[in-house]
Structure 1
Amino acid sequence: MREKSLLHMFQGTFPQLIAVLTGTIGAISDGMHYGWTAPVLPTLESNSSHIHLQERDHIWLETIYMIGGITGLPITIFAVDTIGRKGSIIISAFMALVSWILIAVADSTLFLYIARYIIGLSGDVAFVAAPMYVAEIADKKIRGFLAGIIYLMMLLGILIIYAVAPYAPFYVPSIVGSVIVIIQLITFPFMPDSPYYLISKGKDEKAKRHLQRLRGSDDVDKELKEITAAVNRQKSEKGRPQDLVLIASNRKAVIIMVILNAAQHFSSISVMLMNLHEILMSADSIYMRSQNAGILFAALMLLSATIADFVVDKFGRKYLLTISSLLTGLCLLVLAVYFTFKNCNYDISGVSWIPIVTVMVYAAVFKFGLGIIPIVMTAELFPAKTKAMGMTIADCAYVFFAWISIEIYQRLSTAYGHEVPFYIFAASCILTAVFAQLYIPETKGKTLEEIQFILKGVPFPLRSNSLRSESLSFHATLDNKDNKINSTPEKNSNEKSGV
């Protein structure tokens, strides 16, 4: 029965899968850049390095990557709405290729700084445009699975850089990353574009052709009408930045995504990825070489996220997020308690295996929900007119809280010991589980239109034309009420008549 259910879920979705794989393969390159400093900086700091790092270069090579992401926000908002999701992904791939070339030919830190800044810009565009593209081309029955693929690609990239960089010449990772990006640049331009984006630009016939390619069927009239109705309704909503706060459903989406992105990093994932070797050495865990521990850590994250990606559309977002948050918090609590006993001079030699086991369990349980659900939900919650701005804010929150979590870890672990930041991170995970249960709606099996009704607290109507027309008018009326402070009577009348 389960096999039949799985086959039914994926039936007729092969064109979507190919489009998503080619559209997200560049995330492997992004993952390699994200984990690049951990294995590469020790090589650059060695006496045999052809590039000589100064004392502050280690920190700045990590920070400039995040600065690139933050400064890329205006570019991202402009790109996804002007040249589209597909075009933005292609531009991001070109930027990633330039970054790898700069790293390969670098003979000074200046080249590395420029490359890291460019890839920060590229990653910001890609991780907004790609989830939007996936959510808008995917059938609702596998949208969660397809949305999670970009994270799997990123984790694969982290695994590759951990496995290659410590054992190969400095330029080899650049060759690997460049080949991956070139594959995307060759294949993805031939994939269908987002029907939502095409309809929003008045290209209805082209949208129909691309939707037919994605569904592998000529019978797409019903879905095309639903997409058109959704786009027309969402066009009647204002796409101003302040509407992310003034409209209740948008405000709820922003709150959910900011908190989930904060929760990801306050579960210490960036701290783990960038400081895993140092954490294990501080814990006196000698059961595995740090290079091997890094490879196993990345492999477990990839395996766990892959399993989660297959079951996210079966068990739902809330369930996986809640269980993952609780188990992640438990792992961090165990690690904090271990460091507490160690710093109190207890004899822990007999249990020095605990840190290595704990961080490996952490890798598995974090990526089973907390590490993948936010990226799945990001493209589901915002309506078309504010999706670019909303997802860009979510991406900004992701980068910002990554930096904050690293600062908290570095400062508190130096001043008070490793246990203090890990107690904070453990508490954050518990609060995330509570937040998920009380505030986050379940989006499993829902269309993007249905999700907007859920966020507004409005029952979704039956799908007859008359009822749908009435519901869209009622939906627009709710948005107008949300905006009445900033809308004139004439403008409200025009909006209602345009639905």
Structure 2
Amino acid sequence: MGDKSGDESLETETLTASRLEAKPTSKTRQFVAAIVINIYAFSQGTVIGWLAPTVPLLMSDESPIGGKPLTHENVSWLGSLVCFGAILVIPVASFISNKYSRKMTGYLMALPLIPAWTMVILAQSQSMLYAARFIAGLGCGGGTVSIPQFVHEIAEDSIRGEVGTYIALFFNSGVLFTFIVGSYVSYKVLGYVSLAVTLIYLAAFTLIPESPHYLISIGNTAKARQSLEWLRGENNPDVEREIERMTKRARELDRKRSIRDIIKDLTSKGTIKGLIIGIGICANLQLSGVLAVLSYTVNIFKDAGVNMSPYAATIIIASIQIIATYASSVLVDRLGRRILLISSNSMIVVCLGILGGYFYLKQSLDVSGFSWVPLVALSLFVIVVAFGAGSLCFLIISEIFSENVRIVAQTTCLVCFWTLMFLVIKLFPTLVNMFGLHGCFWFYASCCGSAILFVYFFVPETKNRSLESILKELNGDKDTEEDNSKKNTNSSKLV
């Protein structure tokens, strides 16, 4: 009896030790996988950030594009053609992802960035540069499908919020990287460096396993288990529970493959509410004007008469943005999505209101003594955008749709996202000519003011909640996990 008891004690201690050992391994590998896939987001940032440091050169007599300076209209197309390419590729990326695997999508969607940067380096005409930016848009649009989906499917609920904001963190890092490099190297060297980033991503992505969710969906349970063991740890007892849960969900999806079931799911209360939330969150980010501001930052500082190099000021702003985005990634699973969105939009209204006031007064008064105002206000603006509206958009979209409608719903949201980005970047110079910078800033401020009300009344809190719990709330079922938790707690107290 004593020996048996000792053996059981030893077995229990061994099992406990193996579980403790598995925990850090699982989290570490999930973070590593999220970082690798988000090198793709970094590449997207280099595409968007490329415009700001190169615009002054492209519009000068020393333009590398045939020696002919580009006009404001030409530059607006360089920014907006990226969006147009993204809009066209999103349905294709969604189809490939769900039909042929998440890994294949991660590779194929990034490949257009290689010819895009090659064409930028070799461009000798405006048409070739336009074509390069359009092709780059194909790579950027594919990333907005691939990155959030992959990260959502590999991460545990407890860290889903943090790794879900990495797309904004790495995107902003790519923008900053391009601002810094573009300020010190030649036009062609900047293209070579940006191309190298894409190649690094493609090489690193080979080290990450396929999404276990996709493997379960095609019936490959063995490989799904291997993928989960790599992500969670080989001795993690939660792996089998996750396999069972994913298998059950896959069977439910198989039973809902008819056109009638799909239409029913797409027109359900939860899906419609999710679409309203998803499109609203996309509109919140784009109509904050942040991408228009980032694309024309150097020109804005020149117009403001800031007493420092516009390039230096731009780098400072991009650096601050990264710090704020990182802070958001740390706090999102502690404070929650709603409070970050509401506080972010509130501060955006204040910052844009001050910027609008400065440029309005500049038309009739001498404000040279206050040239620090736009630098401070713009710095605060990018901080508060990154803190909420800019970092949570893709995370929330990945959390609010059931798997049987996710491909259609997320595609709809992402098409709206890039369409709005196209309009904001393309029309920004036109709006400035019509209403002045002050009018543009006040318009964006009013949009963010409306977003505060939208978040308060429509957006649910998804912090540390499972998909099932979130969908219950969207469908009007108040019996959420939190309610069940309270019931269980009260029951235990009564017992």
TM-score, normalisation: structure 1 = 0.86
Q: Determine if the alignment matches structure 1 residue 189 to structure 2 residue 203.
A: no
Partner residue of 1:204 out of 221, 228, 252: 221
- Runs of at least 5 residues in structure 1 that lack an aligned partner in the other structure: 1-7, 465-499
Asked whether the equivalents of residues 64 and 187 of structure 2 are also in contact (C-alpha less than 8 Å), the reply is no
Which residue is equivalent to 1:112?
A: 129
Instruction: Decide which of 372, 375, 378 is 1:353's aligned counterpart.
Output: 372
| Structure 1 residues 45 and 193, CA gap change in structure 2 (3 angstroms) | same
Q: Please point out which of 333, 340, 346 is paired with 1:320.
A: 340
Mapped to 1, the partners of 2:157 and 2:64 lie a distance apart of: 51
Residue deviations 1:57-110, cap 9 Å, x none?
Answer: 323222221111111133122211112222101112222222222222333334
CA distance in 2, matches of 1:376, 1:418: 31
- Residues 182 and 277 of structure 1, relative CA distance in 2, 3 Å threshold: closer
Code of the residue aligned with 1:258 in structure 2: it is I
Distance 1:229 1:251, change over 3 A: same
The answer to whether residue 413 in structure 2 is matched with residue 399 in structure 1 is no
CA distance in 1, matches of 2:275, 2:50: 30
Counterpart residue identity of residue 14, structure 1: T
Contact 2:79 2:425 in 1 (8 A): no
After superposition, the Cα gap between the structure-2 partners of 1:10 and 1:289, relative to the gap in structure 1 and judged at 3 Å, is: farther
Count of matched residue positions in the alignment of Structure 1 and Structure 2: 454
Task: Please tell me whether the aligned partners of residues 80 and 426 of structure 2 are also in contact (alpha carbons under 8 angstroms).
Answer: no
Q: 2:44 corresponds to which residue?
A: 30
> What is the match of residue 123 of structure 1?
140
Paired AA for residue 57 in structure 1: N
Q: 1:425–1:235: structure 2 CA closer, same or farther, 3 Å change rule?
A: farther
1:32-111 alignment runs, 5 A limit = 32-52=46-66, 53=68, 55=71, 56-111=73-128
Amino acid at match of 2:411: T
Correspondence for 2:285: 264
The residue that corresponds to 2:17 in the other structure is: none
C-alpha contact (below 8 Å) 1:9/1:141 kept by paired residues: no
Q: Distance in 1 between matches of 2:366 and 2:263?
A: 57
Counterpart residue identity of residue 42, structure 1: P
1:447 aligns with 2:461: no
Instruction: Specify whether residues 406 and 123 from structure 1 end up closer, same or farther in structure 2 by C-alpha distance, changes over 3 A only.
Output: closer
Deviations 1:272-326 (A, max 9, x none): 112222323333x322211111111111111100111111111111111110110
Contact 1:230–1:449 under 8 Å retained in 2 = no
Distance, in Å, in 1 between the alignment partners of 2:383 and 2:227 is: 38
Deviates more, 1:97-106 or 1:53-62: 53-62
Query: Which residue pairs with 1:148 in the alignment?
Result: 165
Q: Distance in 2 between matches of 1:246 and 1:432?
A: 25
Q: Could you tell me which residue of structure 1 aligns to residue 34 of structure 2?
A: 20
* CA distance in 1 between partners of 2:361 and 2:83 (Å): 35
Match of 2:244 in 1: 225
The structure-2 alpha-carbon separation of the partners of 1:266 and 1:243, relative to structure 1 and needing over 3 Å to count, comes to: farther
2:12 corresponds to which residue? none
Segment drifting more, 52-61 vs 398-407: 52-61
Residue 392 of structure 2 aligns with which residue?
A: 373
Q: Which residue of structure 2 aligns with residue 133 of structure 1?
A: 150
Offset at 1:24?
A: 1.4
Aligned residues of 2:93 and 2:109 also touching (Cα < 8 A): no
User: Is the 8 Å Cα contact of residues 76 and 392 (structure 1) preserved in structure 2?
Assistant: no
Structure 1 residue 238, shift from structure 2 partner: 5.1
Aligned position for 2:313: 293
**Percent same amino acid at aligned positions?**
28
Q: Which residue of 1 aligns with 2:491?
A: none
Q: Is the 8 A contact 2:402 2:471 kept in 1?
A: yes
Question: Secondary structure of the residue that 1:417 maps to in structure 2?
Answer: helix
Q: Unaligned stretches of 5+ in structure 2?
A: 1-21, 485-495
Residue 425 (1) aligns with residue 444 (2): yes
RMSD of aligned C-alpha atoms?
Answer: 2.3
TM-score, reference length from structure 2: 0.86
In structure 1, what is the Cα distance between the partners aligned to 2:438 and 2:265? 38
Partner SS for 2:112: helix
Counterpart code for 1:191: I
Which has the higher Rg, Structure 1 or Structure 2?
A: 2
The answer to whether the 8 Å contact 2:89/2:138 transfers is yes
Per mean C-alpha deviation after superposition, the further-off stretch among 11-20 and 238-247 is: 238-247
What's the CA shift for 1:407?
Answer: 5.1
- Structure 1, residues 368-415: CA drift from partner, whole Å, max 9, x if none? 111101121121112222222222222211111123334554333312
**Distance in 2 between the 1:279 and 1:110 partners?**
26
CA contact (8 A) 1:239 1:385 kept: no
